[in-house]
Structure 1
Amino acid sequence: MATSKLSILAPSLAGPLLRMHFHDCFVRGCDGSVLLDSPTRQAEKDAIPNLTLRGFQIIDKVKAALEKECPGVVSCADTLAIIARDVTYEVMGPFWEVETGRRDGKVSIANEALINLPPPFANISALKTTFALKGLSVKDLVVLSGI
């Protein structure tokens, strides 16, 4: 499945896929660790701030298609970054260059997500502080929180 078909098949997932990417980047860097599962439900995706993430099945479908065409070449981390960029652009959002070559993370810890992501109930002061610590502006906060 090409990413250009994603916004047609699931236009409501553009925001959630971008959100998943930024949640991934907030914790261990953009390493795809938010995609990892844990048999004990202690992975990043199991942390409270990530319980409402959507679109994992889209990432899985695109990654499966990539693996079929070029096995072992494109990391899950690059797949997530490129999908987030492409679906954002396809719904009239900005376009940005995605540098590829990320290596997939092999560690995913729910507590790290709790520490690095703002909780769903955070007030505006806490959100501004959290985003500033990651080098993001108030505009970035508004854009990423509105998805």
Structure 2
Amino acid sequence: MMHWKEHKLVGLLLLKGKYATASLVATLIEYGLYSLCVYVFLFGKTRAHITSFAIAMLTNFFLQRFFVFKLNRPVFKVFAMAMTVSLGGLLLSSFIFSSLMKVAFFVKNHYLAKLLASGTTFLYNFYLKRFAFEKKFV
């Protein structure tokens, strides 16, 4: 029989797995849009990063709303909180991305720069979004 702490840990790991899956879907959308913006619409890479991130951010909210977190607040309040967290993530990832794009290696490997910028914000987003939806961090 599982101890309550083990049960809580398993629940948290399952929740992170669902969050990671939703994030993966949103990330695939983000990278697809990023590629379209860079190679089809000829946006600058930082502009393409911001545009694709914004659309993926909305996608991610709906995935989290319906498949990941329990809604323990009014949906409009959660939306406002989640968008605020995501905008913070956008600022953080954009700063990291634009800083990396000043390095010759990352100019040639801009997808790697984007991956590093996105990966850096994963835990930040998970815990703050969980608080927005469920009123708890852990």
> Does TM, normalized by the shorter one, top 0.5?
no
Ranked by relative contact order (alpha carbons within 8 Å, sequence separation 6 or more), the top structure is 1
Relative to the length of structure 2, the TM-score reads 0.31
Larger Rg: 2
